[in-house]
Structure 1
Amino acid sequence: MLDLIGDRWSLLILLVVGQGTHRNGELKRRIGGISQKMLTQTLRALEENGLIERRDFMTVPPHVEYHLTGLGASLQQAMAPLFGWVDREFSAVQAARAAFAARGQAD
């Protein structure tokens, strides 16, 4: 489970899907930098583990939506303090990275 929720993209996807039902294209736009292949793989892993649900409307063009399951919502609730910390401290982490990079260039 830690491998699943600790990878680079899973928590971001859970955070976005936790804000409401989303289609694949919306997810890709909201999660900058993720490839379509990685998005698909991560969505499948989250679905396989019961954290999100995929609803295929069986239309042409394809219409597929993703939303959290009860299990996914409980994980999101458990992760809320971490998400809050990231939101509060993101600028401090960016400043630390910049200071570190500046020290490295001075050497």
Structure 2
Amino acid sequence: MADDGVASPSFRNDADKIGFAVHGAFLSSGFVLTTVGPHALADNVIDSPSTNEVGIDNWNQFEDHYVFVYANPLKGCSKVLVKCLVINGKLLVDALARGSSPPVHLAI
């Protein structure tokens, strides 16, 4: 298992805390983090065959958004792309599972 800094994450603001809570919800649901930050913005990231777990390093390097890709080994390693965007004091969360449409949307 990757050393992902979960025990002592660094938060800059409330959006970081909520974004990290979203991440924690996916982990507690059996998903593993496979890509985070700038690499998670690649065009075909959820089509990548890699399901290796990665650490959470640089998860909050962007000022106003967070991007995660998860795989669920209990469900055939299907992948989910999660993008969080801070707008007007809210965190907008969109999650798109590979092969599904439309994304699930949540405003916090």
Taking structure 2 as the reference length, what is the TM-score of the superposition? 0.29
> Greater strand percent: which structure?
2
Greater C-alpha Rg:
1
Question: Structure 1 length normalisation: TM-score?
Answer: 0.29
Give the number of the structure whose residues are more often helix, by fraction.
1
